[in-house]
Amino acid sequence: MKLKIVKGTRDLFGDEVSSFQFLEDKAREVFSLYGYEEIRTPMFERTELFAHGVGQDTDIVGKEMFLLEDRRGRSMALRPEMTASVVRSVITGNHMQQAKHRRFYYMGPMFRYEQPQKGRFRQFYQIGAEYFGVSTPDSDAELLLMLRQFFKAVNLKTVSFQLNSIGCQKPECRPSFKKSLVEFLTQQKEHLCENCTRRLDTNPLRVLDCKEESCIAVTKDAPKIYEHICEECSHHFTELRSILDDHGVVYTLNHKLVRGLDYYSRTVFEVYSENLGAQNAAGGGGRYDSLFEIYGSPIIPALGFALGLDRLAMLIDMEAQKPEGIFVIGHDRRVVNRLVSNCREAGYKTLYDPFQSSMKSQFRQANKANVYHVLILGDDELKEGKVSVKNMTTSDQTSVAIDQVIGHIKSELSPEK
Ligand code: AMP
């Protein structure tokens, strides 16, 4: 049998894992400042959860879900995104009974059957947050402020926000705009791509974010949705923009930004970076006040975002790792093992050569390992019951009694020094 990794998946290790961990740690740190708590939902759910919530006419549900059948023939889907799962959890777990508003964040793998390319995978990772119970524009602003703080914490300067409002379902709001949009697009139907000709009937808003050049040319002069939404939605959007301005949040308005999913209302936003190439969206989100209703539950105002961890990891410049830990060199396996154990139990990352190669080779490995200290147990040291401790940052070498090594290392590393 020839083993092969599944298309669109990859193993994460080395620098990439370090970048993932760094981003995850910073997200935990920043999100908790805003009162978010972590939620972990199952990796798969009943397919209908996504079919109803995300929407039948979206790419995700239409063609990108990984489906499984359980032994009783029920259709299950590997989660393609997590908002639907978190909302399901809020409903099935009655989370809103304990508080009027709740904030959750999550991180983990998602699955979409997409054509893999740079920055696009079939198993990819997201960090996201969902805020339930509050409908005022301050909560939309808070989410964007939290994102800005997160990007600052991970030292990402190349990201920019784009903002739009897609209104609500009231007849005089989005539905009325859709009508004018369809009228506008129908006049130029012959210039639309095949997909968008179909979307004219099924989901005309999606024509606005089509990436085909001919469609981009058509929609350039399309009516702007944020100028046609109802009074309440318009007020919400103006308020949000003024709060963002107060806080000096930089964003651009993009009337073509609609997000692919059916459940959004009012605020939608995306985060971009020019450094990402073709797949330049680092994340996106918005308000989805009507999603609970779609699931037959009383309405709970909600909003959230998801960031693509794989893509963020491509953007961050990890600082060169500082030297850390200890490498023990020597030929006497028993003494080496004992010293290694003592160091590890004292709380130091400690490495050694399990093959006990030549001393020269062990020195080479120690140099490569980027450790702070090398402990040398040569023949002379062993005879005297001592260890040579080499500080790799200063190259100083001292001879220390074996039972005093830990104390010596501790004093060298103590912050008072
Ligand atoms: P979405 O909700 O679909 O806009 O996804 C949010 C973010 O997840 C996107 O902006 C991307 O950064 C990331 N993302 C979505 N799909 C993929 C994928 N197939 N591979 C890698 N990242 C993805």
**Could you read off the pLDDT of 129-185 as tens digits, one per residue?**
999 999 999 999 999 999 999 999 998 887 899 999 999 989 999 999 999 999 999
Residue 10 predicted with pLDDT over 90: yes
Q: Which residue has the higher pLDDT, 193 or 260?
A: 193
Region 72-101 average pLDDT: 95
pLDDT in the model for residue 305: 98
pLDDT (tens digit per residue) in 379-402: 999 999 999 999 999 999 999 999
Instruction: Report how far ligand 1's centroid is from the alpha carbon of 286 (Å).
Output: 14
Region 357-375 average pLDDT: 96
pLDDT in the model for residue 385: 93
Measured CA to CA, the distance from residue 367 to residue 374 in angstroms comes to: 9
Instruction: Report how far ligand 1's centroid is from the alpha carbon of 306 (Å).
Output: 8
Region 37-63 average pLDDT: 87
Instruction: Report how far ligand 1's centroid is from the alpha carbon of 308 (Å).
Output: 5
Bin 111: left if φ > 0, else alpha if -120 < ψ < 50, else beta: beta
Region 209-232 average pLDDT: 92
- Please report which confidence band the pLDDT of residue 365 belongs to, taking 50, 70 and 90 as the band edges: very high
- Please report which confidence band the pLDDT of residue 415 belongs to, taking 50, 70 and 90 as the band edges: low
pLDDT in the model for residue 52: 85
pLDDT in the model for residue 157: 81
Return the beta strands (E) in 114-220 as ranges. 123-132, 159-165
Region 57-77 average pLDDT: 88
- Please report which confidence band the pLDDT of residue 217 belongs to, taking 50, 70 and 90 as the band edges: very high
Ligand 1 atom 14: residue of nearest CA: 308
pLDDT (tens digit per residue) in 325-347: 999 999 999 999 999 999 999 99
Percent residues over pLDDT 70 in the chain: 98
Q: What is the amino acid identity at position 160?
A: S
Helices (H) and strands (E) in the chain, counts: 16, 16
Instruction: Please give all residues whose beta carbon lies within 6 A of any atom in ligand 1, as ranges.
Output: 81, 112, 114, 119-121, 124, 126, 281-284, 306, 308, 310-311
Q: What angle do CA 13, 19, 25 make, to 5 degrees?
A: 115
Residue 416 predicted with pLDDT over 60: no
pLDDT in the model for residue 105: 98
Ligand 1 atom 12: residue of nearest CA: 308
Pocket test for ligand 1, best of 209, 263, 268, 310 (most atoms within 8 A of CB): 310
Pocket test for ligand 1, best of 65, 120, 270, 314 (most atoms within 8 A of CB): 120
Instruction: Report how far ligand 1's centroid is from the alpha carbon of 390 (Å).
Output: 47
Instruction: Report how far ligand 1's centroid is from the alpha carbon of 374 (Å).
Output: 44
| Signed CA dihedral, 231, 237, 243, 245: sign only | negative
Residue 287 predicted with pLDDT over 80: yes
Region 197-220 average pLDDT: 90
Region 250-257 average pLDDT: 94
Least confident of 152-156, 269-273, 274-278: 274-278
Pocket test for ligand 1, best of 126, 156, 272 (most atoms within 8 A of CB): 126
Residue 315, CB-side half-sphere exposure with 13 Å CA sphere: 27
Pocket test for ligand 1, best of 6, 59, 124 (most atoms within 8 A of CB): 124
Residue 417 predicted with pLDDT over 60: no
Measured CA to CA, the distance from residue 144 to residue 287 in angstroms comes to: 12
Least confident of 57-66, 280-289, 358-367: 57-66
285 and 260 Cβ atoms separated by less than 8 Å: no
**Residues whose CB falls within 8 Å of the CB of residue 107, separated by 6 or more in sequence, listed in order:** 24, 27, 38, 125, 126, 127, 128, 309
Instruction: Report how far ligand 1's centroid is from the alpha carbon of 409 (Å).
Output: 46
**pLDDT averaged over the chain?**
93
